[in-house]
């Protein structure tokens, strides 16, 4: 039985969803100490000039050791409108953006209090679009070292870490990207990049991206 531990993630990268699909059981860590500049509250998409970071602003916690489950979303900076506009600008000309757009809009109209609830709701919707049915639960407590047979990717899938070196099970499979002729293929972007460009074929690519 393949078991994987992941952090919560906002529109997580292809690597994250590939592991979710390959695992029999997925534990999403909610008792870790929240850290900035991670996929917990940011994603990376492809714009006409290259990679674009989209960050969900969070309310500053009372302590440096605040559990991720207690992190609240901030309304600072009209970010919901800006993120939806960025997705439309980046992917408006992709083959499947218009097909999936209406599924995403409600998440940028409704206000979620907690980051984990927002990420989880988005993730469930995206899994439905891709036709994934992962068995996902939140952790009940924090363990430093997971059970021997489980794969701990809580600090491996990270925007500042080299997945080629850190995650040997994941292999990058190129696919069509709308700006590819201008800037080449950009690997391991947010799952929305794969979904809007590849549509229903996303599932097959994810299946072939993990080698255990």
Walk along the chain (212 residues) and give the pLDDT tens digit of each residue: 899 999 999 999 999 999 999 999 999 999 999 998 999 999 999 999 999 999 999 998 888 789 999 999 998 889 999 999 999 999 999 999 999 999 999 999 999 999 999 999 999 999 999 999 999 999 999 999 998 889 999 999 999 999 989 999 999 999 999 999 888 999 999 999 999 999 999 999 999 999 87
Query: Tell me, what DSSP letter sits at residue 111?
Result: P
Domain membership of residue 164 (yes or no) is: yes
d(CA 122, CA 124): 6
Q: Are 96 and 196 spatial neighbours (Cβ–Cβ below 8 Å)?
A: yes
Domain membership of residue 212 (yes or no) is: no
Domain membership of residue 62 (yes or no) is: yes
Domain membership of residue 160 (yes or no) is: yes
182's tokens: 């201008």
What is the reported pLDDT for 158? 96
Q: Which domain holds residue 18?
A: 3-207
Domain membership of residue 17 (yes or no) is: yes
What's the total number of domains in the chain? 1
What is the reported pLDDT for 147? 85
Domain membership of residue 180 (yes or no) is: yes
Provide the CB-side half-sphere exposure for 111 (13 A, CA): 8
C-alpha distance from residue 58 to each of 11, 68, 95, 96, 172 (Å): 16, 11, 33, 30, 31
């Amino acid at each position: 039985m393949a078991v994987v531990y992941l952090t919560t993630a906002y529109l997580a990268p292809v690597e994250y969803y590939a592991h979710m699909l390959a695992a029999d059981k997925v534990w999403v860590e909610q008792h870790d100490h929240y850290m900035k500049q991670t996929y917990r509250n940011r994603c990376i998409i492809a714009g006409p000039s290259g990679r674009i970071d989209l960050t969900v602003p969070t309310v500053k916690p009372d302590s440096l050791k605040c559990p991720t489950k207690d992190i609240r979303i901030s309304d600072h900076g009209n970010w919901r409108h800006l993120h939806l506009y960025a997705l439309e600008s980046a992917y408006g000309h992709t083959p499947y953006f218009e097909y999936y757009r209406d599924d995403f809009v409600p998440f940028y109209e409704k206000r979620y209090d907690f980051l984990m609830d927002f990420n989880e709701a988005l993730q469930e919707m995206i899994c439905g679009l891709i036709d994934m049915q992962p068995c996902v639960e939140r952790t009940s407590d924090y363990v430093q070292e997971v059970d021997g047979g489980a794969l701990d990717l809580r600090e491996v899938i990270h925007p500042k870490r080299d997945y080629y070196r850190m995650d040997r099970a994941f292999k990058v499979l190129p696919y069509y990207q709308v700006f590819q002729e201008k800037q080449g293929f950009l690997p391991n972007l947010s799952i929305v990049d794969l979904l809007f460009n590849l549509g229903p074929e996303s599932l097959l690519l994810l299946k072939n991206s993990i080698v255990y």
